[in-house]
């Protein structure tokens, strides 16, 4: 038996995921025969397009089954660099690209090579829940930049300015955003860039994993495009999971300053090595193939986002900032309601609706619902949401 100290401080500090807890309870209830409607999913409900699957199968048959270069398949790195250059208007060459095990590993690697004890990371809130966890694992301290549904979750420029200290090392942006579905506007990014110009020690990470999942009237802007003069300290994280329905393939990427990307490659070489070699061939096919599937899937999410948003707006008491991207809605609970955890636990136990409490994303006033399910399921979920709120408020 080892000594009393079984776990490292690092492992000890990891917080259990609320999302997993709710999902586990939903499964338990379903196994007991309860009729459960889950709007908690954070992944596309489409299958990966066939031509991508075929490319990976072909790669397997061709013997692409061995270790590959740590930084990624050279052809894929080249194709990603070309995509960033042409689609995002950010001149990039392949030495600036690291292929990672999903967008998640891109973020993890970047934080590990950039951050250390004492550094402060600024995270706009609500946020995707892995940012603070990964920043803490790298030893950094978090400062949140709260935003409110009352102001449409807009980025708080003054709050940003006032939160900067000598220790500030990194600002995180995520557009289109999880959980709010907000798409940042170019002017907002320009204002942020203006502040960064006065603080040469602050880096920025822009997570653009939902890039293609936006309404027709929206435009995705990559932060790196807005501030080419800051290219040494702006990093982009992206991947194939959401746009191409490839969550299980685990292919994402980090791009930016080649010196820092090189350090992230060294880290990857000593931790996980290359991303699954034949999965990378699938990703290459995704980039080279027709964009029709991408457009069709994005349209379908837009339709379902609208169905979900309109339905929420009809339930009295909720305040919703209409999401324009990703596949979530993040409504604010009625004023006289309980906190988000109690609300979600109640919704699950009483009406069989599985949704995610906003506190998991840093905002206890809200709840997150996903529209990456069938329209019938969305309607069923909305019905149960109304029952839940009536239940709680009665």
**Cβ atoms of residues 215 and 176 within 8 Å:** no
Among 178, 236, 300, 309, binds ligand PLP (CB under 6 A): 178
Q: In this complex, which beta carbon is closest to ligand PLP, that of residue 215 or of residue 337?
A: 215
Our finding on whether 102 is near ligand PLP (CB under 6 A) is yes
CB closer to ligand PLP, 308 vs 389: 308
Tell the smallest beta-carbon distance from residue 205 to ligand PLP (Å): 10
* Number of residues in contact with ligand PLP under rule CB under 6 A: 13
Binding mask 197-236 for ligand PLP (x = CB under 6 A): ----------x-x---------------------------
Kindly tell me which of 234 and 389 has the beta carbon lying closer to ligand PLP.
Answer: 234
- Taking CB under 6 A as the criterion, the residue among 104, 220, 304, 368 binding ligand PLP is 104
- Closest CB to ligand PLP: residue number: 102
Pick between residue 209 and residue 392 the one whose CB is nearest to ligand PLP: 209
Which residues inside 33-92 make contact with ligand PLP, applying CB under 6 A?
42
Which region among 78-86, 98-106, 272-280, 355-363 touches ligand PLP (by CB under 6 A)? 98-106
Q: Which stretch binds ligand PLP (CB under 6 A): 100-108, 259-267, 289-297, 351-359?
A: 100-108
Among 239, 256, 325, 331, binds ligand PLP (CB under 6 A): 239
Residue 174 interacting with ligand PLP (CB under 6 A) = yes
Q: How far apart are CB 226 and ligand PLP at their closest, in Å?
A: 19
Rounded to a whole number of angstroms, the minimum distance from the CB of residue 363 to ligand PLP is 15
Question: 3-state secondary structure string, the chain?
Answer: CCCCCCCCHHHHHCCCCHHHHHHHHHHHHHHCCCCCEECCCCCCCCCCCHHHHHHHHHHHHCCCCCCCCCCCCHHHHHHHHHHHHHHCCCCCCHHHEEEECHHHHHHHHHHHHHCCCCCEEEEEECCCCHHHHHHHHCCCEEEEEECCHHHCCCCCHHHHHHHCCCCEEEEEEECCCCCCCCCCCHHHHHHHHHHHHCCCCCEEEEECCCCCCECCCCCCCCHHHHCHHHHHHEEEEEECCCCCCCHHHCCEEEECCHHHHHHHHHHHHHHCCCCCHHHHHHHHHHHHCCCHHHHHHHHHHHHHHHHHHHHHHHCCCCECCCCCECCEECCECCCCCCCHHHHHHHHHHHHCEECEEHHHHCCCCEEEEECCCCHHHHHHHHHHHHHHHHHHHC
Does 343 help bind ligand PLP (rule: CB under 6 A)?
no
Quick one: 265 or 392, whose CB is closer to ligand PLP?
Answer: 265
Q: Is 129 in the site for ligand PLP (CB under 6 A)?
A: no
Binding residues (CB under 6 A) for ligand PLP: these are 42, 102-104, 128, 174, 178, 207, 209, 239, 241, 247, 252
């Amino acid at each position: 038996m080892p000594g009393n100290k079984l776990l490292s401080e690092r492992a000890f500090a990891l917080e259990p995921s609320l999302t997993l807890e709710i999902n586990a309870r939903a499964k338990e209830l379903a196994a007991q025969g309860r009729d459960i409607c889950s709007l908690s999913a954070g992944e596309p409900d489409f299958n990966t397009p066939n031509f991508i699957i075929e490319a990976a199968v072909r790669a397997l048959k061709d013997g692409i089954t061995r270790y590959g270069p740590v930084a990624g398949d050279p052809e894929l790195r080249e194709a990603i660099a070309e995509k960033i250059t042409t689609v995002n208007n950010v001149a990039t060459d392949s030495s600036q690209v690291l292929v990672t095990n999903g967008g998640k590993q891109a973020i993890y690697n970047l934080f590990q090579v950039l951050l250390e004890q004492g550094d402060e990371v600024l995270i706009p809130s609500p946020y995707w829940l892995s940012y603070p966890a990964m920043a803490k694992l790298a030893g950094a301290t978090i400062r949140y930049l709260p935003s409110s549904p009352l102001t449409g979750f807009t980025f708080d420029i003054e709050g940003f300015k006032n939160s900067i200290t000598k220790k500030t090392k990194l600002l995180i942006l995520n557009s289109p955003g999880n959980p709010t579905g907000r798409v940042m506007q170019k002017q907002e990014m320009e204002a942020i860039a203006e502040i960064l110009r006065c603080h040469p020690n602050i880096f920025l990470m822009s997570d653009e994993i939902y890039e293609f999942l936006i309404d027709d009237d929206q435009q995705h802007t990559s932060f790196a495009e807005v501030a080419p003069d800051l290219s040494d300290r702006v990093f982009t994280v992206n991947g194939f999971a959401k746009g191409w329905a490839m969550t299980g393939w685990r292919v994402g990427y980090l791009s930016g300053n080649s010196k820092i990307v090189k350090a992230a490659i060294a880290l990857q070489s000593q931790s996980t090595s290359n991303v699954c070699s034949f999965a990378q061939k699938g990703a290459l096919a995704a980039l080279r193939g027709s964009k029709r599937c991408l457009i069709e899937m994005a349209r379908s999410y837009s339709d379902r986002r609208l169905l979900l948003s309109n339905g929420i707006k009809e339930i009295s008491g909720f305040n919703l900032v209409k999401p324009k991207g990703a596949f979530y809605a993040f409504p604010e609970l009625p004023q006289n309601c309980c906190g988000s955890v109690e609300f979600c636990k109640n919704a699950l136990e009483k009406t069989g609706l599985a949704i995610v409490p906003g506190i998991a994303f840093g905002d206890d006033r809200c709840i997150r619902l996903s529209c990456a399910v069938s329209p019938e399921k969305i309607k069923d979920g909305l019905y149960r949401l109304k029952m839940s709120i009536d239940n709680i408020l009665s």
